């Protein structure tokens, strides 16, 4: 598979909201199965696209790529292919008679931010998140859900919760529920958990989060999914005003994104 085809597959994965690891041969001494720049892509499902040498080295690269996805940091592996390994090298059963270095670069999709609600706190969160580089989507059927309140953002102001049927949330996306009414909140949480979104936040008290978790668990949602719920939402900075609360929420989103 050619490099353009591999990059095309990488772009397809990003569009789907999936993380991948791009493995590139960056150094070679002696003989090896591929030349400098050879690439292989590893998906979340452990599928490899392209080849960087085959055999035991490639199987190990796939294992390491899945570990890289968990850790979230790139790494470099140094393989001894039929030559005596030095410190830090991984010995591979091969007759090539050389050594290679493979750089494993984790490629993550940028999370979109779905804000369920359009009140004052939602407006503050949306503006700050938009300035910080998030693509923001507002979902609410209230009068406050307008382009004027949410400039340069996508606004879905249609009958709720029916409109959620046409809202596709990816695994990499973030969802924050900033509304206040129980039926609205539960509908938003159901949709977020069914999509297995990366981050789910709920505005309100600890007791509210506990009650909503109990309701959703009775509906069949797993403990593993419900543990994703961040409630109360926002970093603890003693925020009181809508503007301060909005800052605390966006700070938590940035913390999640950069962690």
Tell me how far apart the alpha carbons of residues 192 and 96 are, in angstroms, rounded to a whole number: 50
pLDDT in tens, 148-198: 999 999 999 999 999 999 999 998 999 999 998 999 999 999 999 999 999
**Residue 53's pLDDT is what?**
76
pLDDT in tens, 238-248: 999 999 999 99
pLDDT in tens, 5-17: 999 999 999 988 8
Please check the confidence at residue 77 and state whether its pLDDT lies above 90: yes
Please check the confidence at residue 224 and state whether its pLDDT lies above 80: yes
Mean pLDDT of 218-230: 94
Please check the confidence at residue 90 and state whether its pLDDT lies above 90: no
**Residue 99's pLDDT is what?**
87
Considering only 48-57, 64-73, 113-122, 246-255, which range has the smallest mean pLDDT? 48-57
What is the percentage of the chain residues whose pLDDT exceeds 90?
Answer: 77
**Residue 184's pLDDT is what?**
97
Domains of the chain are: 3-107 (no CATH), 112-258 (3.40.50.720)
Tell me how far apart the alpha carbons of residues 214 and 180 are, in angstroms, rounded to a whole number: 17
CA torsion sign for 15, 193, 21, 81 is negative
Higher per-residue confidence, 94 vs 196: 196
Buried b (16+ CB within 10 A) or exposed e, 56-91: ebbeebbebbeebbeeeeeeebebbbbbeeeeebbe
Claim: this prediction has a pTM higher than 0.85: no
Mean pLDDT of 57-78: 91
**Residue 186's pLDDT is what?**
97
- Of 30, 92, 85, nearest in space to 58 by CA: 92
Mean pLDDT of 70-74: 89
Please check the confidence at residue 54 and state whether its pLDDT lies above 80: no
Please check the confidence at residue 32 and state whether its pLDDT lies above 90: no
């Amino acid at each position: 598979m050619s490099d353009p085809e591999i990059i095309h597959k990488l772009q397809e994965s990003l569009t789907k909201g999936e993380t991948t690891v791009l493995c590139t041969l960056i150094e070679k001494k002696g003989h090896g199965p591929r030349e400098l720049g050879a690439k292989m892509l590893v998906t979340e499902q452990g599928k490899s696209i392209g080849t960087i040498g085959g055999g035991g080295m490639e199987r190990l690269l796939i294992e390491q790529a899945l570990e890289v996805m968990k850790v979230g940091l790139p790494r470099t592996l140094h393989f001894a292919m039929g030559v005596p390994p030095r410190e830090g090298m991984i010995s591979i059963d091969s007759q090539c008679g050389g050594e290679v270095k493979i750089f494993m670069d984790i490629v993550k999709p940028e999370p979109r931010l779905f804000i369920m609600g359009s009140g004052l706190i939602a407006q503050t969160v949306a503006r700050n998140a938009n300035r910080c580089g998030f693509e923001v989507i507002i979902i609410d059927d209230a009068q406050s859900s307008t382009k004027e309140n949410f400039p340069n953002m996508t606004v879905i102001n249609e009958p709720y919760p029916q409109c959620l049927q046409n809202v596709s949330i990816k695994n990499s996306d973030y969802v924050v529920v900033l509304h206040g009414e129980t039926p609205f909140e539960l509908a938003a949480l159901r949709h977020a958990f069914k999509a297995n979104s990366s981050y789910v936040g709920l505005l309100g008290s600890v007791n509210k989060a506990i009650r909503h978790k109990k309701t959703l668990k009775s509906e069949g949602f797993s403990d593993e999914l419900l543990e994703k719920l961040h409630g109360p939402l926002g970093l603890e900075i003693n925020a009181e005003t809508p503007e301060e609360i909005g800052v605390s929420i966006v700070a938590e989103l940035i913390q999640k994104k950069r962690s």
